[in-house]
Each structure stands twice: as structure tokens, then as C-alpha cells.
Chains A and B, each alone.
Chain A
Amino acid sequence: MTFQELILSLTRFWAERGCLVVQPYNSEVGAGTFNPNTFLRAIGPEPWNVAYVEPSRRPTDGRYGDNPNRLQQFHQLQVILKPAPIDIQQLYVDSLLALGTDPDQHDIRFIEDDWESPTLGAWGLGWQVWLDGLEISQFTYFQQVGGIDCKPISGELTYGLERIAMYLQDVDDVYELEYAQGIKYGEMFKRAEWEWSTFNFERANVEMHFGLFDQFESECQKLIGLSATKGKGGKLVWDIEDPLQRLVLPGYDAVVKCSHLFNVLDARGAISVTERQRFIGRVRHLARGVSEAYLAQREALGFPLLAATEGAS
């Protein structure tokens, strides 16, 4: 099974089970969780089922294309089921069949793995899924997103596509993967790994990145009308009162940019240990603002998807 066949069959599997198939987010993200189709849609009471591939950038993981297992950009196939159906684990196990892997002939294990994103103010409980000792997926029940308690709970399934493809194709070097017939993964990405590693570790303009971080931070606050200072008890203070006048999506885009800029600066070695916490806190504050703005906006709109499901049933 080629890399692209893997994407196609997993996508088809989830589309057949009621998931919307959407496209990756068009800005740099560290994981599929950052895509607003997960991050924002997990907030509030409305149902949401979606599947998509997310090219995910982790600047510090770059190895200049030298390491057969580590990449600064890899691919996740992300599935959100909200609310998580009670048979979500069985659905996941069934999806392995779509990979041509009979779960009954392997050792499938659900190993405790709690997830937390300090920048997003989000956490969840769940597992990493092992296939014969290989971690092939992350499985998380979101408990909190953007500082807001989730209700209902979303189930997030994240397939590590390179890992799975290496297993299926029985290769030890990611660059030897067949992406599609006749085209190796190395052809697609090896040079990219070297260039981005060089950029992230050596050449990225530190001053520009710090400057951009500040600008996107203040832009986000302006777009959603969030005051830079917090109120009593850490409460958010709003300069724009009307939820429908806040630009939630452009605001969130700025959060995603800040998060990535931080990651590049981190890889570049430009952020000291003490500054680190402060930067994370700044992004978290924005993420919280956007989350609350999103929830208020959906509420003002009457939670349209809730009405749609109720109407349908």
C-alpha cells in the first residue's frame, strides 16, 4: 500500500462513517489539533464529525534528512467524532482493516497516554495505540479546550501516517517509502527536510520572528477585541462586546502563527528557559480569548448545528 493509498483508504473509511472530509489548514501547525476543524469545533455543544490529513511541523524534530525516523514535517490523519460515540474504540479497530491489517492477527494495545497542550490550554485523556509494539495512533478524549470544559466530549484519533506506511511497506527508512507508484517519499521531502532543518536551526531571522510574534499577538487581540490585561480573578476583558463583531477566524489564525513562530524561535535556540514559560503563557491567553469568543459567537448564532441535528431526528 503506497503512502497515498493509505491516505485514500483511511479517508474513505471515515467518510463512509459520516465524517466530513476537509483539507489541511493553510498555515503552519504543529499537529492536526491546531486545525480549527478540531480546535474550535471541539468547543461548545454542537456535534461535529470530520477527517483530514494535516502536514504537521515540529521544527525541533528536524534532522536535516539524515535520520530515518525523524522529520520536522510529517503527516497526521486526524479524525474528530463529537460527541465520541460509545463504540469509538471499535470503530478505530475496524479502521485498521482499511489498512489491510487484521486486528485479530496482531497485538493491538491501548497504552495510557494523557495529552496536554499548554499553549492551547487544552488537555485530554486516552491512549497511544500499539500495533505489535509500534505506536501507530494517538487516541484522546478531549476534556478541556482553550480553558473551556468540553461538553459533549470529542474523541480525537490521530494516525501517524509515516509510521504506519513504514510498517505496511516494511521499510526501515522513511525516505524509502513509496509515496505513489514510482515516487519515493525521499523524492518528495528529503531536500525539504534539509532546507527546513537549516532554516529552523541556523538561518531563520530571529529578530523578524520575535517581531512577528509581537505583531500577531496584538493583531489577534484587536481582531477578537480582547484586552491585553485580565480582569478580576483572571477573567478576560472584552473591548468588543458584540460576539458577532469579533473576528474569531482571523484571530485564531494569528494564534496559530504565534504558536509556530514560537516553535521556530525555540528550535533556533533563541528562547531561554525562563522566557519559555512566558511565551507559552502569552499564546495560551490568546487561545483562551479566541475559544471564548468562538463559543459566544456560536451561541449568538443559536448553535446552528445543534438545531440541524434536532431537526433531523
Chain B
Amino acid sequence: MSRPLLMEIGVEELPASYVAAALAALPDLVRPALEAARLSHGEVRAYGTPRRLTVYVDDLADRQADLEETVLGPPKAAAFEADGTPKKAAIGFAKKLGVDVSALTVEATDKGEYVAGRREEAGRSAAEVLPELLGAVIPKIPFRKSMRWGEGEVAFGRPVHWICCLHGGEVVPVEFAGVRAGNLTRGHRFLAPAEVALDDAASYLDRLRALRVLADPAERERVMLERLDAAAKAAGGVMIPDAFLVGENGSMVEEPHVICGHFDQAFLALPDEVTIEVMRGHQRYFALRGADGRLLNRYLAVVNTDRSPDIITQGNDRVLRARLADGRFFVEEDKKVGLAHRVPALDDVVFQRKLGSVGDRARRLEGMMGKLSDDPRGVEAARLCKADLVSLIVGEFPELQGAMGRWYLTQAGADAAVAQAVEEHYRPRGATDGLPGSALGAWLAVADRADLLAGCFGLGQVPSGSADPYGLRRAALGIIRVATAGDIQVDVGGLIGLAYDGYVEQGTLTVEKRAETLAAIDEFVRGRLAAFYRDNHRGDVVAAVLAAWPGDSVPDVEARLAIVAEVAAQEWEAFREAYKRAYNIAAEAPEGDFDPTLATEDAERALIAAWSTIRSDVDAHASAGRYEDALRLVGDLRDPIHRFFEDVFVMVDDAEVRDNRLRLLASIARTLGRIAHFHLLGGTKLES
């Protein structure tokens, strides 16, 4: 017989993020516990709201499976005398298993012969096993921060009020934090507050629905979105999509209802970003756009009740009015001051304790922009790009950095390209964020990130493991992505060097440590590049290319990757083998070029002829980044080099002949090695 199992832990309101994390973890806590207890079961699911965490198991067996297994004991030699008389070890082992010594057998294993015995244990009823099993699961539910309450003995995400635990219709008396499970649950805190007895586990979701609780988060989110869409339509607009708000709101209510409020048209004069962020950041409201794409003076709020929507809407309108008035106050004060006049205040904002202020940083960026971009407006954009950090509105809403800088500059009639670069220099904020749309913005974006990398590496603040407090991986990836887009020609190594020099000029980093720091950043950037290209290229191809890459242009890495991938294919296998041998042997080559007249073998002359024909062209193509053309020529070497290694013995006694052969191979390896370190390519069978 099997029946569903239900365990609902009733708590005071959990933070939105706690609910999602706990529900994700619950099945993975319960499943192995049931398996270890030999209780067969169907699917294990988690449900939950801010006020309850629930695990639900389909078809949980009424009894444990009987245990019957073979257990290995001591080695045969330690257990029995040569004549088969049992020693102490055998008697003890049999006793532990509860069997007669005569029932023991001998099993041959990899490590020799061992005594073995059968262990049997009749399965116990689930009713016996479950209370302890589930009681051990509850304290393992993970929370970002746990708290104690009451007498302060136990910790959990929030205080526990009830546990409703049923196997079929039977109560499983789990205990946690002084609460003993029963068959009582509770509905919505305000809409159905009374305690209600559940007759059986199977009816859980239906019963809770009647108690005004949508316990299944997926169902709750679906209903919420339907109601939001309907309300948006009724208000003549569409909701601005926002995954964060959907997640938050869905985890903050037990039964989602939607109200549509409004605010004074006059607030629409504020930048849209401010209006949206005031609603989103403080109040978790959804903003609406009309058919023409313009922001409406309406918003949607998810609430936890369907009673008195008019009163609740009025209340929310009031709150938003005060919030928007605050926002308008900040924006107007900021406009009075003017963004350019905020710049000196950046000297009082710490960038990093040992690296000076944000003002210092802006001055370094100015210096860099003067050298990076031909556009004189680059320096002006650098000077202004951090100024909105000390504006009142960004102090209140840090997410608005950049957007507000642009808005204030535009309002003040500043050059549009400068304003755009100020906003865009924060892009890309993350792996999926868009890139700067202008060359000036792109230059400022890479300069900003190079400055961060140079400063942090200069101090030895290097990411380790998962710890990357300054976001250096993101910064390096940002440079790579902007450089890949190709709107600007970035020399990565040169850029970082330039950034480092800015610190030297300001006296925060030393010339002495320059080479060492730049080498460390170069290695770091290569690591990021390898990670960046790993999705679409074989690891050995990326390694071969990066080893030859001088550390400047990112599009150049891509050009190399394309052709090296070809060399990694099947038809080049013989070439790779030959190159690898040439590469290894070339290390022993003395200085100087080879002399064609010293060749003694046919295969040697043939290789020299083939190589001499293409050598200068390959060199020219590789230098100019025309890797495809270079590779086409290198194709002519495939047969001669293969034949060379078949027919010619390199390390002959005659030093002159030997050295000449080594010089020939070194010449080939050196020239081709400028395209990629082909010897790092594995076989074609290599996994990507």
C-alpha cells in the first residue's frame, strides 16, 4: 500500500528569496532520506508561500522494503584456522549479523578472500520511521540567515507556528522547535484565518485553494500574471516586463490580487527611469506603457487580498505620491546644482582606500580618453561620467547611475555624444546586458574597466575561487565583449598599460611593479578569453590560439580561431604530428638560418624547396592577420614535411648537416607558431 505524504511547516512571513531557495532544496533533502530508509515513493514536490513550506510525496510506501544483503567481514585468514575452525573474528562477525557461524561463506574479492554473511532485517512501518526522518529534514532546510525566537533555543528562517503532517489520512507526529505535527493547517492570514483539519494529504492543494491560499508557486504566478495582464489591458496599457518584480510579488502573497492605481500626470515630466525605479524599488509596482510606448500615469500593485480594493488603491496612491514628490525634489535639486558642478564632490567619495577617490578615478579616465579616442569629447565624457554618483537621485536609487548622468546633461543642453557616452560607459553591466551604442561610449566603457583591473591587480586584489568582490571577471569580460563587437579597435594589452600609467602618475602604483602587474592581468584576460570562447570552440584550439596571440586585438583571436579549427580536423592529422616533432626538435636548434646547399637527402631538399617558396608569403600573411591565406600556403607543406620525417634522420653525427636540419625545422616551427601553437592541438577525437 502506498499513500501520499504531506508535510507543511507553517511560519511567520518568510522573505521572498527564502521561499524560493527553501522550496528548491526541500525535495533534494527528502528524496535521499526516503531512499536511505528504503521507503519507496513517487514524485517529491515542494509547494510554498511566505507563510508555509510544504513537501508532498506521491505514493509513499506504508512499509520499508525488507533488507537482505550480503555483508563482507574480516579476511578469511583472520577468521578461520587452516582446518576451518572459526576464530574470534568469525564468531564476532556472525554475532553482529545475528546468524550462526556455519552460515558464513567465503567470497573472493579483488583484495583476496573475505568472510561474508547475510543480513536480514524486516522493514518497519512508515508510521514508525517517518517522524524521526522528517524531523531530521526540517533543520537542514537552508536559509540565507536563520533566526531564533521565543526562548531562543532553535533557529529557522522565521518562527514556526504549526506543522501539518499526514501520510494518507494518518498524522505523522513530527516535532520541531517545540511544535508537534497534527492534521491542522491554516488558510490565508486575513481571508481565512481559522485552523482547519485536513482529512487526507491528497486534498491539500484543493483545500488550501478554498482557504484562499494558492500553495503551488507555479499556479500562483500564473494566476498573478493573468490578473496583471487583465488589469493592464483594462487600464489601456501593457506592463513593462520585469522578472524581478514577478518573482518578488509572487513570493510575497498567498493569493494574488491586482489593483490599478494612478498618479498625477505632472510626474510624467520626470525621467521615465526615475518614475519606474521609484515604483519598482520602493513599492514593487509594475509600470505601464500606452500603445504609443509612452509611460502611463498608472501602475499595477499585487496585493494579498480582494477586500476593499478602493481603500487599498487610495492608500497606495498616497504612498506613491509622496515617493514621487521625493523623487521630483531630488531631481529638481540636482538640476539646480548641475552635473558639472558635482564633479569636485567626487574627491570625497572613496573609490578604493589605497587607490584614492572617485575624483582621482575620473581624472585617470580623462587622461586615458585623451590618448584612446581622437574625438576631443572623450575627455569631457570621462570628466563627467561619474558625477551623477553624488547626485541626490542616484544616492536614493543607485541603479539609476549613468541614466541620470545622461538625463541631467541632456537637460542642460550638453553635447549629445558626451551624454550618451556617460550613460553607456556602464555597459555591459552583466553577461546579458547590451553593449555601448557609440564609439565614445565604447572607449569610455573599456577605459573604465581597464582602470579597475589595473588598480585592483596593482594592489594584489585578485579574484580567488568564487570571491571576486570588485567584479574583475565581469570587467575583463566587458572589455572582451566590447572589443569583439568591433566598433572600436581595442589593443587590450596597451589599454591596460595605459590604465596602469594613470595610477603611476597619481603616485598610487609604482613603475617597478608595472611589468609584473601587467603580466598578471594579461594572464587573467587570457583566462577570461578562454572561458568566453569555450562555448563555441574546442578547448585545445582556444589554447593553441591564445598561446600565440600577442595580447592585443580580440577580433584577431577570432580570426585565428576560425582557421586553427580547420587544422584541428582529421585531414590535417599527419601535419599536426609532423609539426609537433618539428616543434619539439627545434628547441635544440642553434642560432642562425638554414643553408639550402647543405641538404643531402631528397626529402630534405623537397621540404626546403616547398618552404622557401612560401616562407616569405606566409610570414607576410600572418603579420597582416590574413590567416586563411597563410593556411592555404601551409597546406603545400603537408606532404613534404611528412615525407621528411619518414625518410630523414635528423640527429646524424655530422654536426653541420644535423644543425642545418634543426635550423630548417626551427624556421618552420617559429613562423607557423606565430599563427597558433599547433603542437597544443590534440587529436580529432578530443571532446570540445
Taking Cβ atoms with an 8 Å cutoff, the residues of A that contact B are 67-69, 83-86, 89, 103-112, 114, 124-125, 127, 131-134, 141, 143, 149-153, 167, 170, 172, 272-274
Decide if B319 touches A132 in the complex (CB within 8 Å).
yes
Also in contact, A106 and B312, with CB within 8 A (given A69-B322, A167-B318): yes
B349 to A, closest residue via Cβ = A273
- Contact between B320 and A273, CB atoms less than 8 A apart: no
Contact residue among B15, B150, B283, B318 (Cβ-Cβ distance under 8 Å from A112)? B15
B161 in the interface (beta carbon within 8 A): yes
Nearest 4 pairs of A and B residues by beta carbon: A132-B315, A112-B15, A110-B13, A151-B152
Partner of A110, one of B12, B151, B152, B353: B12
Given contacts A172-B318, A172-B322, contact A132 B312 (CB under 8 A): yes
User: Which residues of chain B have C-beta atoms less than 8 A from A131's C-beta?
Assistant: 315
Kindly state whether residue B190 has any CB partner on chain A within 8 Å.
Answer: yes
Residue of B161, B190, B321 near A108 (CB, 8 A) is B190
Interface membership of B55, Cβ < 8 A = no
Task: Please indicate the chain A residues that have their CB under 8 angstroms from the CB of B148 in the complex.
Answer: 141, 143, 150-151, 153
**Does A273 lie within 8 Å of B190, measured CB to CB?**
no
Complexed CA–CA distance, A112 and B326 (Å): 23
Which of the listed residues B149, B305, B326 has the most CB atoms from chain A within 10 Å of its own CB? B149
Of the candidates B18, B150, B301, B322, the one whose C-beta lies within 8 Å of that of A86 is B150
Tell me which residues from 304 to 344 in chain B have a Cβ below 8 Å from any Cβ of chain A.
Answer: 304-305, 307-308, 311-312, 314-316, 318-322, 325-326, 329
Contacts A125-B147, A152-B151: A106 and B329 contacting too (C-beta < 8 A)? no
Distance in angstroms between the alpha carbons of A111 and B305 in the assembled complex: 15
CB distance from B252 to the nearest CB of A (A): 7
Q: How far is the CB of A41 from chain B (nearest CB, A)?
A: 15
Within 8 Å CB of A125, what residues of B?
145, 147, 158
Please report which residues of chain B, range 185-199, place their CB below 8 angstroms from some CB of chain A when the two chains form the complex.
189-190
Residues of B within 8 A of A109 (CB): 13, 252, 304
B residues sitting closer than 8 Å to A (CB atoms) are 12-18, 50, 145, 147-152, 158-159, 161, 189-190, 252, 283, 301, 303-305, 307-308, 311-312, 314-316, 318-322, 325-326, 329, 348-350, 353
A292 vs B265: C-alpha distance when bound (angstroms): 57
Contact A83 B147 (CB under 8 A): no
Are A153 and B311 closer than 8 Å at their CB atoms?
no
Of the A-B pairs whose beta carbons lie under 8 Å apart in the complex, a sample of 16, sorted by A's number, is A86-B159, A86-B161, A104-B190, A106-B315, A107-B304, A108-B304, A109-B304, A110-B12, A111-B13, A112-B15, A132-B316, A133-B301, A133-B315, A153-B147, A153-B148, A167-B315
- A107-B304, A272-B348 are contacts. A84–B322 as well, Cβ < 8 Å? no
Shortest CB distance A173–B (Å) = 10
Q: How far is the CA of A241 from the CA of B316 in the complex (A)?
A: 57
A6 to chain B, nearest CB (A): 17
In contact, B312 and A111 (Cβ under 8 angstroms): no
A153 and B190 contact, CB distance less than 8 A: no
Bound CA span A33–B402, Å: 38
Cα A274 to Cα B322 with chains together (Å)? 34
CA distance A105 to B307 in the complex (A): 6
Nearest-CB distance from B121 to chain A (Å)?
41
Chain B contacts for A172, CB-based, 8 A: 318, 321-322, 325
Residues of chain A within 8 A of B322, CB atoms compared: 68-69, 172
Tell me the nearest residue of chain B to A124, going by C-beta. B147
What's the minimum C-beta distance from A161 to chain B, rounded to whole angstroms?
A: 16
Min CB distance, A104 to chain B, in Å? 6
CB of B418 to closest CB in A, whole Å: 29
Q: Which residue of B lies closest to A70 (CB)?
A: B326
16 extra interface residue pairs, beta carbon distance < 8 Å, beyond A106-B315, A125-B145, A125-B158 = A69-B322, A84-B150, A105-B308, A106-B312, A107-B304, A109-B304, A112-B16, A132-B315, A133-B312, A133-B319, A141-B148, A150-B148, A150-B152, A152-B151, A167-B318, A172-B322
Most chain B CB atoms below 10 A, which of A114, A125, A170:
A125
Residues of B contacting A124 in the complex (Cβ-Cβ under 8 angstroms):
147
B308-A106 in contact (CB<8A): yes
Assess A133 versus B283: contact at CB under 8 Å? Given A86-B161, A167-B315, A274-B350: yes
Whole-angstrom CA separation of A152 from B17 in the bound complex: 27
CB pair A132 B311 closer than 8 Å: yes
How many angstroms between the C-alpha atoms of A175 and B420 in the bound complex?
Answer: 42
B150 touches which of A67, A69, A83, A143 (Cβ 8 Å): A83
A108 CB contacts on chain B under 8 angstroms: 189-190, 304
A66 to chain B, nearest CB (A): 9
C-alpha spacing A131/B190, complex, angstroms: 13
Chain B residue numbers with a CB within 8 Å of A68 are 322, 325
With A67-B329, A133-B320 given, is the CB distance from A105 to B311 under 8 Å?
yes
Nearest A residue to B283 via CB reads A133
**If the complex has contacts A108-B190, A114-B145, are A152 and B315 also in contact, measured as CB distance less than 8 A?**
no
- Closest A residue to B326 by CB, please name it: A69
Partner of A83, one of B12, B151, B321: B151
Residues of B within 8 Å of A69, CB to CB, are 322, 325-326
- B152:A104 contact, CB within 8 angstroms: no
Give the residue name and chain of the B residue nearest to A67 (CB).
Answer: B329
CB-nearest residue of chain A to B305:
A107
Instruction: List B contacts of A143 (CB < 8 A).
Output: 147-148
Determine which of A127, A132, A150, A274 lies in contact with B13 in the assembled complex, contact meaning CB atoms within 8 Å: A127
User: Please, which residues of chain B bring their CB within 8 A of the CB of A110?
Assistant: 12-13, 50
CA distance A170 to B189 in the complex (A): 27
Cβ contact of A152, chosen from B152, B189, B305, B320, cutoff 8 A: B152
Shortest Cβ distance from residue B134 to the other chain A in the assembled complex, whole angstroms: 22
Inter-chain contact A151/B319, CB cutoff 8 Å: no
Which of A106, A108, A124, A132 has the most C-beta atoms of chain B within 10 angstroms of its own C-beta?
Answer: A132
B-side contacts of A150, CB under 8 Å: 148, 152
Q: Is the CB of B312 within 8 A of A107?
A: yes
Whether A153 pairs with B316 at a CB distance below 8 angstroms is no
Residue of B nearest to A63 (CB): B329
Note all chain B residues with C-beta closer than 8 A to A103.
190
A152 in contact with B350 (CB, 8 Å):
no
A75 to chain B, nearest CB (A): 18
CA distance in complex: A160, B615 (Å): 82
Contact partner of B348 among A86, A114, A153, A273, CB < 8 A?
A: A273
- Which of A85, A103, A106, A172 lies at the interface centre, i.e. has the most chain B CB atoms within 10 A of its CB? A106
Kindly report which residue of chain B lies nearest to residue A85, judged by CB atoms.
B150
Task: For A171, give the chain B residue with the smallest CB separation.
Answer: B318
Contact partners of B16 in chain A: CB under 8 A:
112
Question: Smallest CB–CB gap between B527 and chain A, Å?
Answer: 33
Least CB distance, A21 to chain B, in whole angstroms: 24
Q: How far is the CB of A74 from chain B (nearest CB, A)?
A: 14
By a CB distance below 8 angstroms, the chain A residues around B13 are 109-112, 127
